[in-house]
């Protein structure tokens, strides 16, 4: 069965709509570099990622004999290295694996796979954790949802009682309104009855109370007599008026207006007091939750600080014995101790180089450099020419206020421009020097010659020519000697030499003759030297050499006493890892002048008995 198989849903799960699909768990294997110890450093190991476990073997052919070590990923910490793009660390408590891939893309694939398996094993996607929730709520969860705790009930009890009081006040006010409305309706009826009675009185007054003489005939008198109210009509009207008066008297006696007014006043006062109490309770609750929030925030800050300290302590413990314990942000040495250790290591290397040079009985035969180099085009022609033009512009650029003079010794001047990126020192360097007794062509070819490379550069442990693109363009892979407490480094670069014709005679120096020569070394990638075992250094270095001839008397033969070479050297190096900035700048200030003096003296000794090649 494949790892991508998804089991079918059960009927209960389908009813509840649960997604119980099992995600595919990645498996990986391949060769990675693993840090072993300070004696052996980085070693190639066969690493297997399977079933939530990261295991490693000496080679892929030893898998049948058991792994050399394994680590469970359920509670593992997986971190990309801060400065090394090819390295990642996997740790569980005190167990730490330092691993390096051949390129950053491979590291990302491994890290993604490790994170996926960690998520699955820790309960966020594994097959065993998919049904832990169940399709129905448990009895305890239902009980917790349907009831409140005693403490929470006490916090809300006063507010609920006050709300019930408001409901009672609402009923009382409603009854009072109904009573008053009944009385007002009766008053309205009385007002209508009084108006009818007054109209009848006015009519009676007009009929019986008028003393004016009537001037009319007998027919008119008979008409008036016919309109006179009878005693029975008057009695009926008086009876109706009595009923209205009796109704008003009974209503007035049934309603206690003073009591109703007192009750209404008390009710409104109670409503206002209850509302004020509700506002007070809500304010207290708000203050309570605000204080509780502040306490929770304070607890969270303390927990985060404790977790941070614990992580820092764990990292410190984990890095003991690791590659970053000596070189890196967690270095156990301070800057002064780091510098002293590097200085002692460099001095030991120099002593060993002097001993080896004294033991040599033969000298390397330096071939005469060609006058010009005309090579057929190759795959990197455009890239090489672009670097040549870039370095020529750097060489011809004058130093300004951004450059600092860090060393001066006679004709030698070394400048530096401080530049730092991501905590890594990338200070560009620029130096000028006058070498007596050699020409620019001889100096450039000596710097380019592969046979003498280990003579003037004592930091090289091993180098190899990966590819020869032409007679003037080679691709080198150099492994540098490890100087404690730094990690071992390597770099792959393309080295190219060519003569540079002046664009016009005004560009020449005083007494300059012939062509100038330029050697350009710049970092490249090559399949035969992947980023794996060492920390990769990148660089862009150029040496520009010009030949100078001093004036001499007519007929005097030209000798090496009359010639000299002015070199302009520029270097922009990324060390590929972290080191104390003050240490890097102090060592570069010391090593660059030493390198220029050494290569100058070696070149003079190599060509002193040879014919002059201008």
The position carrying tokens 């705790």 is: 149
Going from N- to C-terminal start, the domains of the chain cover 28-122, 362-608
Q: 105 near 61, Cβ under 8 Å?
A: no
Could you give the residue ranges of the DSSP H alpha helices within 334-416? 335-359, 381-396
Give the CATH H-level superfamily of domain 362-608.
START domain (3.30.530.20)
**Topology match between the domains 28-122 and 362-608:** no
CA dihedral defined by 417, 418, 424, 429, rounded to 10 degrees?
A: 20
Question: Which pLDDT score is estimated for 43?
Answer: 86
Mean pLDDT by 10 residues, the chain (614 residues): 41 41 65 80 88 89 85 88 86 86 90 87 48 36 36 51 78 77 74 62 54 44 47 55 59 64 78 83 87 90 83 56 61 64 71 61 60 75 92 88 88 90 83 94 93 85 90 92 80 93 76 92 91 86 94 85 94 81 81 91 90 86
d(Cα 565, Cα 411) in Å, to the nearest integer? 11
Question: Which pLDDT score is estimated for 548?
Answer: 94
How many CA atoms are closer than 13 Å to the CA of 380, on its beta-carbon side?
20
**Tokens matching residue 326:** 């000596």
**CATH code for the structural domain at 28-122:** 2.30.29.30
What backbone phi and psi angles, to 5 degrees, belong to 568?
-120, 120
Q: How would you write 508-557 as a 3-class SS string?
A: CCCCEEEEEEEEEEEECCCCCCCCCCCEECEEEEEEEEEEEECCCCCCCC
Which residues share a beta bridge with 475? 467, 494
The position carrying tokens 């119980």 is: 20
- Model pTM score: 0.54
Q: Sign of the C-alpha dihedral, residues 356, 357, 361, 362?
A: positive
- Other CB atoms within a 10 A radius of the CB of residue 608 amount to 10
DSSP string, 39-107: TTEEEEEEEEEETTEEEEESSGGGGGG--SEEEESTT-EEEE-SS-TTEEEEEETTEEEEEE-SSHHHH
**Strand 538-549 to 563-574 pairing:** antiparallel
Question: Which pLDDT score is estimated for 22?
Answer: 42
The Cα angle at residue 169 between residues 166 and 174, in degrees rounded to 5: 125
Burial 85-107 (b: 16+ CB within 10 A, else e): bbbbbbbbeeebbbbbbbeeebb
Distance of alpha carbon 420 from the chain centroid? 20
Among the listed residues 546, 485, 477, the one whose alpha carbon sits nearest the alpha carbon of residue 511: 546
Residues in CB range of 148: below 8 A, 6 or more apart: 156
Question: Which pLDDT score is estimated for 244?
Answer: 56
- Other CB atoms within a 10 A radius of the CB of residue 579 amount to 23
**Tokens matching residue 307:** 């977790």
């Amino acid at each position: 069965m494949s790892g991508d198989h998804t089991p079918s849903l059960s009927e209960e799960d389908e009813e509840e709509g649960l997604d119980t699909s099992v995600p595919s768990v990645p498996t990986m294997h391949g060769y990675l570099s693993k840090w072993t110890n300070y004696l052996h450093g980085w070693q190639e190991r066969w690493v297997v990622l399977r079933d939530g476990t990261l295991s490693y073997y000496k080679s892929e052919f030893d898998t049948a004999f058991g792994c050399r070590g394994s680590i469970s990923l359920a509670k593992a910490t997986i971190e990309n290295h801060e400065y090394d793009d090819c390295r990642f660390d996997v740790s569980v408590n005190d167990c730490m694996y330092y691993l390096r891939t051949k390129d950053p893309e491979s590291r990302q694939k491994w890290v993604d796979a490790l994170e996926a398996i960690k998520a699955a094993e820790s309960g966020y996607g594994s097959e065993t954790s998919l049904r832990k929730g169940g399709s129905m709520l448990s009895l305890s969860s239902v009980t917790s949802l349907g009831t409140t705790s005693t403490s929470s009930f006490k916090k809300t009890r006063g507010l609920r009682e006050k709300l019930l009081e408001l409901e009672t006040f609402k009923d009382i006010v409603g009854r009072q309104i109904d009573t008053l409305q009944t009385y007002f309706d009766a008053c309205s009826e009385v007002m209508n009855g009084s108006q009818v009675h007054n109209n009848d009185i006015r009519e009676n007054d007009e009929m019986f109370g008028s003393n004016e003489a009537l001037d009319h005939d007998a027919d008119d008198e008979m008409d008036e007599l016919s309109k006179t109210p009878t005693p029975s009509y008057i009695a009926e009207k008086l009876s109706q008026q009595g009923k209205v008066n009796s109704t008003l008297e009974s209503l007035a006696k049934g309603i206690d207006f003073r009591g109703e007014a007192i009750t209404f006043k008390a009710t409104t006062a109670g409503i206002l007091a209850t509302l004020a109490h509700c506002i007070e309770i809500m304010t207290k609750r708000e203050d309570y939750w605000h204080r509780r929030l502040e306490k929770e925030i304070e607890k969270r800050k303390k927990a985060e600080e404790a977790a941070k300290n614990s992580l820092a302590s764990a990292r410190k413990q984990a890095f003991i014995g690791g590659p970053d314990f000596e070189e890196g942000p967690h270095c156990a040495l301070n800057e002064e101790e780091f510098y002293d250790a590097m200085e002692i290591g460099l001095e030991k290397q120099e002593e060993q180089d002097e001993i080896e040079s004294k033991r040599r009985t033969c000298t390397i035969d330096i071939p005469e450099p060609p006058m010009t180099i005309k090579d057929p085009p190759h795959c990197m022609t455009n890239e090489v020419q672009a670097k040549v033009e870039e370095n020529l512009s750097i060489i011809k650029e004058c130093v300004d206020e951004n450059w600092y003079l860090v060393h001066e010794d006679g004709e030698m001047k070394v400048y530096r421009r401080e530049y730092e990126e991501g905590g890594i020192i990338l200070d560009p360097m620029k130096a000028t020097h006058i070498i007596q007794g050699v020409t620019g062509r001889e100096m450039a070819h000596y710097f380019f010659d592969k046979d003498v490379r280990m003579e003037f550069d004592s930091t090289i442990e091993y180098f190899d020519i990966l590819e020869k693109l032409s007679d003037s363009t080679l691709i080198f892979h150099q492994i540098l000697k490890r100087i404690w407490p730094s990690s071992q480094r390597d770099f792959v670069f393309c080295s190219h030499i060519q003569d540079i014709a002046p664009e016009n005679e005004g560009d020449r120096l005083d007494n300059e003759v012939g062509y100038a020569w330029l050697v350009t070394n710049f970092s490249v990638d090559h399949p035969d030297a992947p980023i794996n075992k060492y920390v990769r250094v990148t660089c862009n270095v150029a040496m520009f050499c010009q030949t100078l001839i001093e004036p001499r008397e007519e007929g005097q033969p030209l000798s090496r006493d009359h010639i000299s070479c002015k070199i302009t050297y520029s270097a922009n190096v990324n060390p590929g890892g972290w080191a104390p900035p003050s240490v890097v700048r102090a060592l570069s200030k010391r090593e660059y002048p030493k390198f220029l003096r050494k290569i100058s003296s070696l070149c003079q000794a190599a060509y002193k008995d040879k014919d002059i090649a201008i």
